[in-house]
Structure 1
């Protein structure tokens, strides 16, 4: 079943974003210090076509796909939105021993529920982790998971936000200091890619080349690697070993459908 394409994005009068830290918007702080992220930016693009758009973001950092399906999907269905973005599974895939086939099965069950409720769904694939130091070793698992996601989208008529093919994100400036979450510019480009997937017109191009950057010396790169390992990698490994999630006890930042105050 193919998605029902429309040249009029204003038909989506309500939008709910589901997921983990990627959709919560970590490392993309707005003027007020709160995290913004690609989903908030996408909502702003949608609101440019429909100022009455209502938007909710139920994503919480650190969540596994089963937690997202059990906690966020029922809430999304109860809100009865016209459009849902659903990106999940990354925190599962990076765990040792995880099975992308099993993760995809859980994911598809949720997609089926959303589509049965008459909701349009935008699925996000996994990033190509070839250039990511911590996640390079799971690249094959991400590729397998992405193949499942593509098939799920075909079976259920979903839109696809293809992050794997965004070569522009291979630049280090697309990533924050922790090298695990996108920078503000990375989030901006992903939002533009989402607009393209949905057929939402914008005046910007996510493919725009990065400006030239000065080349860092080997000594500076080494010092940065050491600082990153101390400040980000070691705590991340420690949380994995303790079974602690950065999202434990945290509530979604935007739990109800509400109009955007202003696009920034």
Structure 2
């Protein structure tokens, strides 16, 4: 069972043959676990741009009702980027959400947030990320039997820009694959995933670097804050990728095609 925002939905690991056009580390983990046990089921309720309160309202009760054995919970990245955010109140609500999950009997995977190298324009938000990570570690220590901490913050390989998508906020395919491998290792599960070397990194001059940053601010950062001011998100027109438990062993792409076909037939029957 996977809960959260774009990190868990899989944004950055683009795959048009899967729901919402992404795959992500959670799908990769689920696929490997299903190879060990074909009866293993998987649901992913995460949606891009979701803030903590929406995740709590839309996902936690639904997840608990499915009686999961393992739950991944990553929330807070979008809240940290709010221009006006009461971190004390936010962290208290985050802890209350985790307490509910820890009490449901499942093994809970809890994540710190990575200290992304950012443009100076976003530097003030780094302090919030440090405070968030500090609280996450305290919460994990409070529930040693129920919570497994995924200390994403400490994984130095993510300092390499080749692990990130062009928006610099989401992992790319390499980043998601590496995340899946590490989580499978944390779970003690055998797997067949291999992380391919990134190869040589290309250098760019100062003029190229400035031009790239200007383009990044114009194409990604300003539109993101513009959407926030308008009260819209990239996930408004989307639905959870796997809202109903499914069997990854039966083929994710195959099941998505069948779902699309069934919906098309339903639309045709209604219009006819």
Band the TM-score falls in, shorter-chain normalisation: 0.7 to 0.9
SS in structure 2 at match of 1:255? strand
Aligned to 1:92: 79
Whole-Å separation in 2 of the counterparts to 1:205 and 1:168: 15
Decide whether the 8 Å contact of 1:58 with 1:255 is kept in 2: yes
Whole-Å separation in 1 of the counterparts to 2:7 and 2:15: 15
Aligned to 1:256: 244
Aligned to 1:192: 181
Aligned to 1:7: none
Q: Which runs of 5+ in 1 are unaligned?
A: 1-15
SS in structure 2 at match of 1:212? coil
Q: How big is each residue's C-alpha offset from its partner over 1:101-146, in whole Å with a ceiling of 9 and x where there is no partner?
A: 32222122222222322111111111113x1225432222111111
Decide whether the 8 Å contact of 2:16 with 2:22 is kept in 1: no
Which structure has the highest helix share of the two? 2
CA pair 180-93 structure 1, distance change in 2 beyond 3 A: same
Asked if 1:239 corresponds to 2:227, the answer is yes
From 141, 153, 159, the counterpart of 1:154: 141
Whole-Å separation in 1 of the counterparts to 2:42 and 2:215: 38
Whole-Å separation in 1 of the counterparts to 2:220 and 2:130: 25
Q: CA deviation at 1:263?
A: 7.5
Q: CA deviation at 1:97?
A: 3.2
Decide whether the 8 Å contact of 1:93 with 1:99 is kept in 2: no
SS in structure 1 at match of 2:244? strand
Of 79-88 and 131-140, the range deviating more from structure 2: 131-140
Whole-Å separation in 1 of the counterparts to 2:194 and 2:88: 34
CA pair 73-235 structure 1, distance change in 2 beyond 3 A: same
Aligned residues: 247
Q: CA deviation at 1:99?
A: 3.2
Q: CA deviation at 1:242?
A: 1.6
From 171, 174, 177, the counterpart of 2:163: 174
Asked if 1:145 corresponds to 2:132, the answer is yes
Normalising by structure 1, we get a TM-score of 0.85
Q: CA deviation at 1:98?
A: 1.8
Whole-Å separation in 2 of the counterparts to 1:171 and 1:187: 14
Q: CA deviation at 1:166?
A: 1.2
From 212, 215, 224, the counterpart of 1:224: 212
SS in structure 1 at match of 2:50? coil
Query: Looking at CA atoms only, which structure, 1 or 2, has the larger radius of gyration?
Result: 2
Decide whether the 8 Å contact of 1:28 with 1:35 is kept in 2: yes
Asked if 1:19 corresponds to 2:7, the answer is no
Q: CA-atom RMSD, angstroms?
A: 2.1
